[in-house]
């Protein structure tokens, strides 16, 4: 999770010209969506494996935390040369990515957990 945050911070610190040199030529909103979906998935997994919280709390907190990080990312870009910070549509893409990532991670976890529980129950019955 820390590596993801550091990567987002580093990318937000690059000027527009530096970002172009890295060949980030794809659709900006899709990049925001994908990056923040990954961050949300990482945070959901961190919560699942480090807390005993219910699914609703995990989903809610992951989305809120990632959305807040997205807001600070947009604010950070205000101070980066040749970048457009405080872009509401970038932040909306961040939030939508966070929602998608949180639900996807939880879905995968539930599917895996259900499968492993069935396998464990089968082992106990043998």
For the chain, the structural domain boundaries read 28-121
DSSP state of 79: T
pLDDT level of residue 15 (50, 70, 90 thresholds): confident
**How is residue 95 written in tokens?**
């939030």
Is pLDDT above 80 for 7? yes
Predicted local confidence at residue 71, as pLDDT: 94
User: pTM of this prediction?
Assistant: 0.81
* pLDDT number for residue 121: 57
Question: In the numeric block, which tokens belong to residue 51?
Answer: 């807390």
Q: Are 87 and 114 in contact (CB under 8 A)?
A: no
| Distance in Å from the first CA to the final CA of the chain | 40
Residue 91 has pLDDT above 90, yes or no: yes
Give me the phi and psi of 75, to 5 degrees please: -65, -40
Q: Is the pLDDT of residue 34 over 90?
A: yes
For residues 10 and 73, the answer to whether their CB atoms sit within 8 Å is no
Residue pLDDT, tens place only, 39-86: 999 999 999 999 999 999 999 999 999 999 999 988 988 887 777 777
């Amino acid at each position: 999770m820390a590596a993801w945050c550091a990567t987002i911070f580093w990318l937000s610190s690059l000027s527009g010209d530096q970002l172009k040199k890295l060949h980030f030529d794809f659709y900006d909103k899709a990049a925001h969506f994908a990056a923040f979906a990954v961050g949300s998935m990482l945070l959901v997994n961190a919560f699942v494996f480090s807390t005993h919280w219910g699914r609703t709390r995990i989903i809610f907190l992951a989305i809120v935390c990632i959305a807040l990080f997205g807001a600070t990312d947009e604010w950070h870009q205000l101070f980066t040369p040749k970048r457009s910070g405080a872009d509401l549509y970038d932040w909306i893409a961040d939030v939508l990515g966070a929602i998608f990532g949180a639900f996807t991670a939880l879905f995968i976890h539930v599917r895996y957990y259900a499968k492993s529980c069935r396998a464990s129950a089968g082992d106990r019955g043998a």
